[in-house]
Structure 1
Amino acid sequence: MIALEPIDRALLDGAHGAAAARAMAILMRYGEASGARRFVSVQSAHIDGCLYHGPSSIDFTRRFVDLGGRVHVPTTLNVAAVDVTHPEWHCGPPELIPAQSELTELHEKLGCIPTLTCAPYQRMLRPRVGEHVAWAESNAIVFVNSVLGARTDRYGDFADLCAALTGRVPMVGLHCDENRRAQCIVAIPSPDAAAMPRDLYFAAMGYVLGRRTIGQVPLLRGLPGDTTEDELKALGAAGASSGALALFHAEGVTPEADEQDIDGLPILAITAEDLQAAVTSLCPVEPGERVAAICLGTPHYSITEFHALNAAVRGRTPAPSISTFVSTSREIAAMVEADENFTPLRAFGVRLVVDTCTYLAPVVAERNGAILTTSGKYAHYGPGNLQRRIGLMTLDRCIRSAELGTVAS
């Protein structure tokens, strides 16, 4: 039995409108199924159901619009199924563009902010440590829980919108103290000990961590003290892809790590050989193999990553057949496009894909050749989603391959 507070009863009784009442009724069923004893207020929401998967996405959202619904908390939108800003790049079904546009417009009518990014933590007022939120999108979930120390459970399509319309969620999962405690210690080698460049190291580490700790909250021991947010983003995204990782702690790095009671926890070891095996698995391409494109920005590129890419391509020229796509948010794309210091990036022919990710929305028109990426998430999902050969490698090797038109050694 769920103990309801006055706000919960008011929502159910329609005091906050018919849309909120309908959303709260759905959340009641969700809470009962998950064994919740009460609800908790959230301070923001991030919606994944805005990514068009079929008519049900539109039907569900339109119903709340017809009922006069408005979101109760600041609400951002995850990526869409297509970059409607550059329809000429879209290589998928043409009917997807108007369907996605309609779905985005419906969410905007509900008061959602059309950020259309999988990395909302890069462009908004970020949740504080301990603050409850309702975020969907796997990499955003693991980032907000682990790196920011705020609290969200795994919210999927439609439950996320219900949370936004009510500002309430069942107090279950990673909202609860007991479910955020470390359950195992994972001893890891440093990048130097693994003899692996840092960008490749964090992608591989996340991929192995996700597979080795399925259903657990791991505490990482040995992560470099100077690990950046972009590196944690890459690690978390890969782990969420390979093993549904939603929360990790890293000693000396993440906000809740030093609060953990680790006495008696089992210790797992990830070795340099494990990391190399992951890279081998995610990079089946061979030196000399033809390259079709470089795809970066999964999750969406930060402005810091753009500066690194700009420096990496300075004075370099890609082979005529090679396209380089970088997925990012509208806001960061506008910053890059307005800054004259990004001339090297433009000279290299980098195309900024907004509102989506290129492992979801096919943009590589050239069918002959592999797609190269620095993202463990892209390398994990790309082969199945795109039916293409994908190779995970360092940024430097991606750029050298773009210059050659073939996979660099």
Structure 2
Amino acid sequence: MAAELIELAPIDQALLDGTHGQAAARAMAMLVRYGRASGAREFVSVASAHIDGCLYHGPSSIDFVERFVSLGGRVRVPTTLNVAAVDVTHPEWHCGPANLLDAQRQLTELHLQLGCKPTLTCAPYQRVIRPRAGEHIAWAESNAIVFANSVLGARTDRYGDFTDLCAALTGRVPLAGLHLEENRRPTLVIDTVSLQRSELPRDLYFATVGYALGALSQGHVPLLRGLPADTNEDELKSLGSAAASSGALALFHAEGLTPEAAQFADQATLASISGQSISAADLHQAAAKLCPLNEGEPVSAMCLGTPHYSMTEFQALSAAVRGRRAASGVEVFVSTSREIAASVDADEHLAPLREFGVKVVVDTCTYVSPVVRDTTGAIVTTSAKYAHYGPGNLRRHVGLMTLQRCIRSAELGKVAPDDR
């Protein structure tokens, strides 16, 4: 039996035997094989799941989910959906293959038939209900994983397409990876240059610290020291998504900021761990790598919201663009969830966004979904993740900038002078 190396609890055996339906049995059989490959000795229950396989990659995306629907499957825990391949609510913005719209609609509908919630956001942690510290979850999407583990203190391994849905259909996962206490302990201490000494604007500082952190921490769980005491969640979101992009980081501890960091603060613990540092030069080097644009270069679009924008970020953007307007021909896209988009639409105080020319994209992220029509100019962004993946995904010239420089570039229709 495939399960012979793993101790099965009564619920696991019942799931395998089909007591809870054939869909759950099929999913559990896959998880047993997955657990055996990961060296797990037992399973653990999860409180929620977040599905990345809802982004259409091809016919196999539909085939996999369709099979569970045909078996009468239903998710056993609250399950949210990650971004889709396209914003189907604004089909007029889509610049990719026309058949992608229908395929994505079908894939989303199949997940809804399984009982998933149509959140379609890469930032499920921005919802009102979110995981508690110490709670086991099964989340996919790199930035959601690193945020849940690090900032919330929840426990998830790096789940990918298909294993995430199996976890949702069973409510169980192998007790392995970052679900285990011993694998969450820091194995590397990294001291970062302070914000003041970095001589970088605040938003660029967190993006580049994250990018440098990921590159330094591959294969490690880092304890990061030196961040400002007033670092907020949006800044940790920016940092974590950058680190997940440059180094596939799934967990970091930030001294004085993240919930598990305090237990590793004693000197005896730190003395036994090797150390590294991030210098101001490292951050400026990361900024240069992620912004290969030249001053005066034509700009086609400003794309924000990778990861999805929070309400606080929309409010800050609205204040920053008040009384300003993007140049003719420059598109401005900001990605977010349906829930936050509805709040933005209903808030009359955010009128400056519409006056500037902001288009609020839902259900997707614009670094995977082609929406920028003018292919002759560059795309400017505040997201290190976008600047890392955008050029390869979209075959476009992309540059990481501060929010103020992005806004000025959108106003001018060309890359504005560096404001550092």
Q: TM-score range by the shorter chain?
A: over 0.9
2: CA distance, partners of 1:52 / 1:215 = 29
For 1:173-322, list aligned pairs within 5 A: 173-260=177-264, 261-322=269-330
Extract unaligned runs of 5+ from structure 1: none
Provide the secondary structure at the position in 2 that maps to 1:268: strand
- How big is each residue's C-alpha offset from its partner over 1:9-59, in whole Å with a ceiling of 9 and x where there is no partner? 000001101000000000000001111000000000000000000000100
- How big is each residue's C-alpha offset from its partner over 1:175-213, in whole Å with a ceiling of 9 and x where there is no partner? 000000000110001111100011101111111111111
1: CA distance, partners of 2:248 / 2:341 = 29
Match of 2:377 in 1: 369
Is the counterpart of residue 40 in structure 1 residue 48 in structure 2?
no
- The letter for the 2-side match of 1:285 is L
1:123 CA drift (Å): 1.3
Is the counterpart of residue 108 in structure 1 residue 112 in structure 2?
yes
Match of 2:129 in 1: 125
Is the counterpart of residue 72 in structure 1 residue 76 in structure 2?
yes
2: CA distance, partners of 1:34 / 1:393 = 40
2: CA distance, partners of 1:32 / 1:403 = 55
1: CA distance, partners of 2:337 / 2:256 = 30
Match of 2:163 in 1: 159
Farther off after superposition, 199-208 or 259-268: 259-268
Match of 2:87 in 1: 83
2: CA distance, partners of 1:323 / 1:402 = 8
Assess, with a 3 A threshold, how the Cα gap between structure 1 residues 165 and 124 changes in structure 2: closer, same or farther: farther
Is the counterpart of residue 358 in structure 1 residue 366 in structure 2?
yes
Aligned residue among 311, 329, 338 for 1:330: 338
1:368 CA drift (Å): 1.2
1:263 CA drift (Å): 2.8
1:74 CA drift (Å): 0.1
1:380 CA drift (Å): 0.0
Runs of 4+ displaced beyond 6 Å:
none
2: CA distance, partners of 1:166 / 1:184 = 35
Extract unaligned runs of 5+ from structure 2: none
2: CA distance, partners of 1:40 / 1:115 = 25
Provide the secondary structure at the position in 2 that maps to 1:140: helix
1:124 CA drift (Å): 4.0
- The letter for the 1-side match of 2:238 is A
2: CA distance, partners of 1:403 / 1:90 = 24
- The letter for the 2-side match of 1:49 is G
1:319 CA drift (Å): 1.0
- The letter for the 2-side match of 1:35 is G
2: CA distance, partners of 1:262 / 1:299 = 32
Query: So what's the TM-score if we normalise by structure 1?
Result: 0.99
Match of 1:29 in 2: 33
1: CA distance, partners of 2:128 / 2:364 = 18
- The letter for the 1-side match of 2:56 is Y
Match of 1:405 in 2: 413
Match of 1:340 in 2: 348
Query: So what's the TM-score if we normalise by structure 2?
Result: 0.97
- The letter for the 2-side match of 1:117 is T
- How big is each residue's C-alpha offset from its partner over 1:47-82, in whole Å with a ceiling of 9 and x where there is no partner? 000000000010000000000000000000000000
2: CA distance, partners of 1:60 / 1:391 = 37
1: CA distance, partners of 2:133 / 2:355 = 41
2: CA distance, partners of 1:191 / 1:30 = 43
- How big is each residue's C-alpha offset from its partner over 1:108-135, in whole Å with a ceiling of 9 and x where there is no partner? 0000001000000101411111000000
Provide the secondary structure at the position in 2 that maps to 1:236: helix
Aligned residue among 63, 66, 75 for 2:67: 63
Provide the secondary structure at the position in 1 that maps to 2:234: helix
2: CA distance, partners of 1:108 / 1:318 = 38
1: CA distance, partners of 2:237 / 2:298 = 30
2: CA distance, partners of 1:55 / 1:198 = 43
Provide the secondary structure at the position in 2 that maps to 1:362: coil
2: CA distance, partners of 1:372 / 1:104 = 30
1: CA distance, partners of 2:209 / 2:338 = 29
1:148 CA drift (Å): 0.0
Count how many residue pairs are aligned between Structure 1 and Structure 2: 409
1: CA distance, partners of 2:98 / 2:187 = 47
2: CA distance, partners of 1:339 / 1:113 = 24
1: CA distance, partners of 2:158 / 2:270 = 25
1: CA distance, partners of 2:134 / 2:270 = 20
1:262 CA drift (Å): 2.1
Provide the secondary structure at the position in 2 that maps to 1:142: helix
- The letter for the 1-side match of 2:190 is V
Provide the secondary structure at the position in 2 that maps to 1:147: helix
2: CA distance, partners of 1:171 / 1:311 = 46
1: CA distance, partners of 2:185 / 2:191 = 17
2: CA distance, partners of 1:378 / 1:201 = 16
- The letter for the 2-side match of 1:366 is D
